[in-house]
Amino acid sequence: MDTSKTTKRAAGSLSAGTERPLRVDCKDLSGGRNYQTSQLKAFDKLSRETRVSAAKRVAGSSINATTLEAINRMERSCKRRKIVQQNNPSREESVESSPTPSPETPFDQPQSQDQINTNAAPATGPAVDENYHFSRAAPQAIANLVPSTLNYAIRRDTTADCQTAVVTMGFPRDPVKMQYCITTIDIIQKKVEYYALKLYGIEIETEGEKRYAVLAGVRIDPEHSMTFRRCRTACIKELFGKQIDEAIDTCPFRLAEYEFGRLIETECVTMTINSDAKGGALISLYMGLRGGTEIRDSLYPNLQR
């Protein structure tokens, strides 16, 4: 049996009497919203007895953990969407008219649709006003926020009087127009390969002083740096912790991804690495403002508000 195909395709058939089997195919969760909608409409046209019978069969079957998590995320997204629409009825129209979710101009985000984007120059952090840019996170606060593996992977900056974790946060000048923030985490050199593989399934190879990315057997040679996108959503909570996972889940771009049926991967987590093998990496997390503000308050306890 080809297990790779089984992993990529979660399909089921609901047949009742002489009715045509209703097949729910999630082969491509990143672009199947229209298909899923048409299948649900077809299901609604069946008789009440048929739908009840199908529901009982589905309820009695075992659900894969990954599928269950996707269903839970969809339900949370629907609840948030209902609340947002009650406060702002025009939101649904704006989401539907958008071809693909992408961050606003003031924040760096690769615009290529490829998972790996090579840049002509090293990537920079969020382009925000200095008054809305926070750095020098408290080490103990980081330890309380993220799993120990990530805590030890974050670069430390030692000065004459103290040691801080290299974690920065950027907030928009206009929180009404841009309802998200960015947290950038500086990862040490020896943990770059681990996070590239866990988050994106991309292998990193080092030859001399040069670093390469290997995807589907192809070695990519960047001139200066490369940015990885399409992070696996199933590992975000494990690697970054519950609070960060929930903050990402409320980012407007993540909600837009839900609208487009993108469940198993997200562009709200990007990773930029330098071609220099001695360098580390920058992981950028796009978050909703409320969750991001709570994280900011915990990371920078001496912040004057």
* Amino acid at residue number 297: D
Q: Structure tokens of 207?
A: 């030859």
Q: What is the pLDDT of residues 80-109, one digit of tens each?
A: 555 444 444 443 333 333 333 444 333 333
Q: What is the pLDDT of residues 245-296, one digit of tens each?
A: 999 999 999 999 999 999 999 999 999 998 898 999 999 999 999 999 999 9
pLDDT for 175 equals: 75
pLDDT for 229 equals: 92
Give, in order, the Cα–Cα distances in Å from 215 to each of 109, 134, 155, 182, 218.
21, 34, 27, 27, 5
Given a cut of 60, whether residue 237 has pLDDT beyond it is yes
DSSP β-ladder status, 167-170 and 269-274: unpaired
Do the beta carbons of residue 77 and residue 266 sit within 8 Å? no
pLDDT for 122 equals: 35
* Amino acid at residue number 105: T
- State how far the Cα of 195 lies from the Cα of 147, in Å rounded to an integer: 13
- State how far the Cα of 135 lies from the Cα of 126, in Å rounded to an integer: 12
Do the beta carbons of residue 237 and residue 146 sit within 8 Å? no
Element (H, E) at 254: helix 252-259
- State how far the Cα of 223 lies from the Cα of 208, in Å rounded to an integer: 15
* Amino acid at residue number 181: C
pLDDT for 258 equals: 93
